[in-house]
Amino acid sequence: MTQTSDHQSTMTTDALDDGPILVVDDDDSLRELCSRVLMAQGHEVHTASLAEEALALAAQNNYRVVLLDLKMPGMDGIECLRRLKAQGCRADIVMITGYGNVPTAVEAMKVGARDFIEKPFRPDDLHAMLQDILARQRQTISEDPIVAFIQTNATEIGSRKDVANRLGVSLERVSACVQEQMGLSFRQFLHACRLDLAKRLLESTQLDVSEIAGRSGFQTVQHFSRVFSKREGVSPKIYRLKSRAEN
């Protein structure tokens, strides 16, 4: 049985930069909330209520981001995720999960999801996550696989060992590569990647500093504030005030 999407478009593009965003959820109110928030930010938004519908839309459109509900009637989100990847969908996929389903959402990230967001979420939460994802898509990624891996996974990496294990290289190779390519130690480069994200969140969202610290990969807000102040010369709160005064 063929389903009809809430918003259909024939827009097709070879570049993800100006591609639309797809929201997949069987909850009408949540689809409406996501659409309203995203369209207010200037994005084109398509919606689908079922996984099968999402697969059909993804076969016709080059989406930048797909927000995909974990639990839906019929095909669930993880199976839909697998099929999206199998049919060549290049979008960053974010799983929408209810309370108590976080372990399953984490499992989805191993299948290929970029991140997950837990219901109920605030518009600011959605905005912050999207800003992070789009910023990662826009940033210039190094051609070196070690440096590129750190750039795109800085919030999840805890140490050189995480990089070495994932890429099958030695700890020494990780350090040497970062020093050669970036002129920084591993820890300095990791902090630089995290702080670039933190600065974007401070500039573009209302999230408090503790939330930004966590989203940027820091274990505590105190550590985040120390590292931020050392690099930028001002505290995160002062940086936010100054950036908004300048705009």
Q: Which domains does the chain have, with CATH numbers?
A: 21-138 (3.40.50.2300), 145-246 (1.10.10.60)
pLDDT of 110: 75
Q: What is the average per-residue pLDDT within 241-247? A: 80
Check residue 226 and give left, alpha or beta (phi > 0: left; psi -120 to 50: alpha). Answer: alpha
Ranges of H-type helices in the chain: 28-40, 51-58, 77-86, 102-111, 123-138, 145-153, 160-167, 171-182, 186-204, 209-215, 221-232, 236-246
Q: What phi and psi, each to the nearest 5 degrees, are found at residue 21?
A: -115, 135
Which pLDDT tens digit goes with each residue over 114-171? 888 888 888 888 888 887 788 777 666 788 999 999 988 898 899 999 999 999 999 9
| Overall size of the chain counted in residues | 247
Q: Is residue 1's pLDDT more than 60?
A: no
Percent of the chain with pLDDT over 70: 90
Q: Which residue has the higher pLDDT, 1 or 27?
A: 27
Which pLDDT tens digit goes with each residue over 32-79? 999 999 998 888 999 999 999 999 999 999 999 999 999 999 999 999
Q: Is residue 105's pLDDT more than 80?
A: no
Q: Is residue 15's pLDDT more than 60?
A: no
Beta carbons within 10 angstroms of residue 74's beta carbon: 11
Model confidence at 246, in pLDDT bands (50, 70, 90)?
A: confident
Rg of the chain's alpha carbons, rounded to an integer?
19
Q: What phi and psi, each to the nearest 5 degrees, are found at residue 177?
A: -65, -45
- Residues 71/101, Cβ–Cβ less than 8 Å: yes
pLDDT of 127: 85
pLDDT of 12: 31
pLDDT of 99: 66
Q: Rounded to whole angstroms, how far apart are CA atoms 170 and 108?
A: 28
Q: Residue 106 corresponds to which amino acid?
A: V
Q: What is the average per-residue pLDDT within 239-243? A: 90
- Residues 238/245, Cβ–Cβ less than 8 Å: no
End-to-end CA distance of the chain: 51
Q: What is the average per-residue pLDDT within 209-216? A: 91
